Amino acid sequence: MKALAGQVALITGGGRGIGAETGKQLAQQGATVVLVARTQAQLEATAAQIREAGGKAHWFVADVSDEGAMREAVQGALGITGNLDILVNNAGFIQAVGLIEDSTPAEWWHTLEGNLKGLYLTTRLVLPHMLAQGHGQIVNVLSVAGTRAFAGLSAYSCAKAAGLMFTRILAKEVRKRGVRVMAILPGAVDTAIWGEGEGVPDRQKMIRPETVAQIITQMLLTPKDATIDELLVLPKEGIL
């Protein structure tokens, strides 16, 4: 029997990048995967790839910062098998890039809120079901930017730093009630979050999304007598 057979995994930002690759790998381990993202075409394509490989995949279009849409997605996931065993909070974006002195307040706050609010809302909607069933695993995909200072990334970095503290507090609150909470903090990963243009590090030196997905899967397969609280994963050459 596959390691995650019978389990249901909800993955935000599941249409592409780390989220899509995580969905593929968890499905290979036997999990029923529920992908959530804003772009239907990407969700359909990723779900089709999982099914073609013999896995089980469903999807819901939702913005993680929209409480109503996320509530519908979580209820839909619960309707599939009646349980939610894994949550991978992966959705995120970079918008406000530049020096603080040149920043636009509305854009800055949008970046901070968009990254942090989605993490909170999705967790808040899923957590009661995990606590009620007495088990569950949550992996928050954060960033090295949440622990180290990068000029020009103040809003994103503040969001990820807050996400890390959120993860630590959540773990403290629920670890004795059967829910394991973990954080992965990748360095530069070759995904669309970078956009195009000047200032983007050499993509050939970045971590591949499937590598991060493999590590997330390994975290979720950690034996029950242990936990990986926080894991920093950098490219081979370190900070790019």
For residue 16, what are the CA distances in angstroms to 41, 94, 188, 239? Answer: 10, 15, 16, 23
Q: What is the DSSP letter of 38?
A: S
Judged on CB neighbours under 10 Å (0-12, 13-18, 19+), 210 is middle
Exposure string over 125-155, b if 16+ CB within 10 A, otherwise e: bbbebbeeeeebbbbbbbbbbbeeeeeebbb
Place of tokens 């956009």: 195
Q: Please tell me which residue in 59, 60, 120, 156 is annotated as part of the active site.
A: 156
What is the rounded CA–CA span in Å between residue 22 and residue 17? 9
Q: Which residues contact 225 (CB under 8 A, 6 or more apart)?
A: none
State the DSSP H helix or E strand holding residue 234, giving kind and residue range, or none if neither: none
What is the rounded CA–CA span in Å between residue 170 and residue 168? 6
Count of CB atoms situated within 10 Å of the CB of 85: 20
Q: 156 catalytic, yes or no?
A: yes
Active-site positions read: 156
